[in-house]
Amino acid sequence: MLWSATMVVMAATGCVDRPELIMPTAEEVETYYEYAQGLEAELVGNVAVLTVEQSARQLRDGGRLWARVGPYIFLFTDETRQLLEDFPGLAGVRVTTRVGTAQVATALLAREDMPDILWRRSLNIAGKARRDGTQQMTLLEDLVDWGESHTEFEYNPRFTRR
């Protein structure tokens, strides 16, 4: 009882070390990612939201799988990990892919859903998919499976129906 009362007093007086919940600007978020086809960032509450232009040709050629994998290509990166480390106030990162004005897919990676121990596996799966996915489609499927198990996601049925 005395211990908890002491902690309450210490917290109220600022004696307990609490991390400052720093938030980035949209411009700072954009600097973490490089993408030639078009990338925009904004903050919605305490979530960094990236909107990425996906190639219509890529979707025509790759179909349903390429529509689903889009957000995970950007979420499971060193850039996202560093962004979350640098800005403890961020609760998560959402990536939305689009073709023109049509949303293709969206996925939200919450900070608490990706502890440090899972980042290494995430980066490995995503790195293989980015490097060899066009020749070995199962790597893209692995990334989609991983993403669906660790994010909140939604796909536009226009692009993902069979």
- Report the distance separating Cα 4 and Cα 10, nearest Å: 10
One-letter amino acid for residue 64 of the chain:
R
Q: How many helices (H) and strands (E) does the chain have?
A: 7, 5
- With 0-12 CB in 10 A as exposed, 13-18 as middle and 19+ as buried, what is 129? buried
Residues pairing with 51 in the sheet? 40, 96
Output DSSP code: residue 36: T
Say what the pLDDT of residue 6 is: 47
Model pTM?
A: 0.84
- Reported as a pLDDT band with limits 50, 70 and 90, residue 5 is very low
For residue 81, what are its two tokens?
């990990």
Higher pLDDT, 21 or 151: 151
What tens digit of pLDDT does each residue of 32-50 get? 998 877 899 999 999 999 9
Q: How far is CA 21 from CA 48, 60, 85, 94, 157, in A?
A: 14, 42, 11, 19, 37
Say what the pLDDT of residue 50 is: 96
What average pLDDT does the structure give for the chain? Answer: 88
If you search the block for the tokens 């023109």, which residue do you land on? 100
